[in-house]
Amino acid sequence: MNEDLLEQLNDGQRDAVVYCDGPQLVIAGAGSGKTRVLTYKIAYLLQQGINPWNILALTFTNKAAREMKERIGRLVGEERARYLQMGTFHSVFARILRAEAQVLGFQSNFTIYDQSDSRSLVKSIIKEMQLDDKTYKPASVADRISMAKNHLLLPQVYAQSEWARDDAQRKCPSVKDIYIRYSERCRQANAMDFDDLLVYTYMLLKNNDEVRQKYIDRFQYVLVDEYQDTNYAQQEIVVLLTKEHGRVCVVGDDAQSIYSFRGANIENILNFQKEYDGARLFKLEQNYRSTQLIVQAANSLIRHNERQIPKDVFSENEHGEKLTLKPAYSDKEESIIVCNDIRRIKRKDNCRYSDFAILYRTNSQSRSFEEQMRKDGIPYRIYGGLSFYQRKEIKDVIAYYRVVSNPNDEEALRRIINYPTRGIGDTTVAKIVDVANTHGVGLWTVISQPVLFHLNISKGTAVKLEAFRQLIEGWIGRLDKEDAYELGHAIIMESGISRDIYSSNNPEDLSRQENLEEFLSGMQDFVESRKEEDMGDQIALGDFLQEVALLTDLDSDNGEDDDKVTLMTIHSAKGLEFPTVFVVGLEENIFPSPMCTNSMRELEEERRLLYVAITRAEKHCILTCAQNRWRYGRMEYDTPSRFIKDIDPSLLHVESERGGGSAVSQMISRPVSRMQNPRPVATQFMADPKPRLIPLRRESPMPQSVIGNIGLKEGHVIEHQRFGIGTVIKVEGTGENQKATVEFKNAGTKQLLLKFAKYTIVR
């Protein structure tokens, strides 16, 4: 039976499986069969006579543990696999803590708080301490406490640490006191949060020799999956359980360590052999997923990282095609190119939409691709997240726009009446609804004439309600005077939404900021493109709302068909694979993230992130970058990502509309400074405790002498700022009404009003 088991492995996998004589680090390159080695090793241990209850396997997801246990059951029988001690760090440690709760002063029926419970408790404490919740945002404080626990910084130690001094410098000196009170309240409630499951397990094993020895004896062999993703606390617990007997096998890939923002510490895997004397290193280097050229290109990229365990991943699959870089003139053309390629490859390979994935650095980048795929009728799904127009901050803004366009919109009015908080609570809203129902009128009618309808509210509430009414009426009065972008921007600023979203710099709020900026960029693009295509000089807020309504209506499509293109962030894509992968937005200030360009450690993680993206691809890997991109109300020029230059040029085919790839090749070879463009608005808040709000910037139309439309004739080839290269088919009209019909290579036929058009004549 042993031989049958081992015959199904390659040489590297077999060596890793049969070695059980001491600490073992298995470096598993992308697509090299990591899960296979773990499952076969556990099966092998069982066949060597170790009882299933004496084997501990720690994973990062319940799904991974479940799938592994099922595979082991098929190899050695479900009965034996059933008794394996296998699960996530948190689930396994929760079982241990329930068994040993009294040692720590807890009852065994303790509650486990999830993230929302933790944030709710932090919010209550901030309120009790009479602290400003704009300075001490509950989510940010809870994240700070969580990160401290992941570093095993208990409340009293935290209060004396560099962390607390950093809080004081950031004008948040009371974080340490909130942390102390939070821990006390959890204990009083006989509750632990997710991070406590790690902290208390560490304390239990560290401070109680008898208990530690009990679990060392019980877990005779310990295996850890995705070791590059472990944080400090997880690593310390593994050391406490295994240092004495050394029967530990950790599996992972330092080249795929991309979760430092969650507390993952790459040093754990890099220093494993220093932590465990005599530890053996095994490398799984054969990639079974990708073609040879994709693997070679990924290797050439990651070699530029200094801090890594050297490996030479190879593939014996078909030779395949080079990576392709497809530069675009704008984010609009980028999405058109990707959608055109999806249709082309689908026809050529006779494959399904589900064989395609579009990977991006930030969630906000999904907008342009969603909109283009809807226009083209390409089905898609957002993996692990919401469609752009279903994200809370976007729905909040749109609700404001809906009320300004139609104050009788009850659903939208309910959503915004107390967001951001303005002291109009649920009780007041219930009274307004009750009066409106009694008189058969809309909510806005009651809000506009509270005295007439005898609305029973206090003077203070009446003042707040009147201020809200005046705010809305002020915007209604501007509907005919300002275009959609000007008024839309004003609503975001004057409503307090911008101040609310920019009052914190935790990862969640940074994502909301990026989404809001992308939304405004989309509005600006909407207004400018319609002017350019002669749909009117004044593009109203109602026009924009109509467009958005058509987009959001499609979000309600819950069809069972799973044949859809997958859109996701690269962080969400780890562990997945697709025949065709598009890695989009490969520009400075996007990828690498501008927040990571001043630290070599962070820059190397960004490079690992691109390595992960490329190695998701089986057959086709297509990279895109845009020369121009709407940002903060203006078209900004971007340079290609420095990482493109890290890929061996012999493994990268660059497509250029000018022929030969010369224009793009020059951009790629251009040296990249640390900060080539101004920092995006979102990152400026990292260093500034006082939020600066998004400035309104408008691009004035380019003078004719600059854009080169003097003497534009049929047959001219033009380079358009957003649509790229196109051929003029027809020119008609005179003066301000002059129009040109242009056939663009990727964007199709467009009719442009020349007084707004932004382009140059190429030939």
Alpha carbon distance 162, 696 (integer Å): 39
Active-site residue flag, 616: yes
Structure tokens at 364: 């906000």
Alpha carbon distance 405, 250 (integer Å): 59
From 564, 616, 619, 722, active-site residue: 616
Omega into 155 within 30° of 0, i.e. cis?
A: no
Active-site residue flag, 225: yes
From 230, 256, 524, 569, active-site residue: 256
Active-site residue flag, 34: yes
Residue ranges of alpha helices (H) inside 172-257 are 175-188, 194-207, 209-218, 232-242
Q: What is the DSSP letter of 355?
A: G
Active-site residue flag, 247: no
Active-site residue flag, 98: no
Alpha carbon distance 64, 439 (integer Å): 58
Coil, strand or helix: which one is 78? helix
From 193, 196, 225, 500, active-site residue: 225
From 196, 226, 396, 518, active-site residue: 226
Q: Give the total residue count for the chain.
A: 763
Alpha carbon distance 761, 133 (integer Å): 55
Q: Residue 533's closest CA among 357, 702, 753, 292?
A: 753
193-230: string of b/e by CB count within 10 Å (b at 16+)? bbbbbbbbbbebbeeeeebbeebbeebebbbbbbbbbb
Structure tokens at 561: 């068909």
Query: CB under 8 Å to 416, separation ≥6 — which residues?
Result: 396, 399, 400, 403, 495
Coil, strand or helix: which one is 561? coil
From 34, 71, 137, 629, active-site residue: 34
From 15, 35, 85, 206, active-site residue: 35
Q: Residue 371's closest CA among 387, 354, 350?
A: 387
591 within 8 A of 641, measured Cβ to Cβ: yes
Alpha carbon distance 242, 220 (integer Å): 8
Alpha carbon distance 567, 552 (integer Å): 17
Query: CB under 8 Å to 29, separation ≥6 — which residues?
Result: 253, 255, 283, 284, 285, 286, 287, 311, 313
Structure tokens at 151: 């570093």
Radius of gyration of the chain (CA): 29
Structure tokens at 567: 């859109």
Amino acid at 234: Q
Q: What are phi and psi of 18, to 5 degrees?
A: -85, -15
446 within 8 A of 508, measured Cβ to Cβ: no
- How far out from the chain centre does Cα 653 lie? 28
Q: Residue 471's closest CA among 394, 541, 430, 413?
A: 413
Residue 186 half-sphere exposure toward CB, CA atoms < 13 A: 25
Query: CB under 8 Å to 126, separation ≥6 — which residues?
Result: 133, 136, 138, 141, 178
Q: Residue 341's closest CA among 636, 583, 72?
A: 583
DSSP 565-578: EEEEEHHHHTT--E
Active site residues: 34-35, 225-226, 256, 616
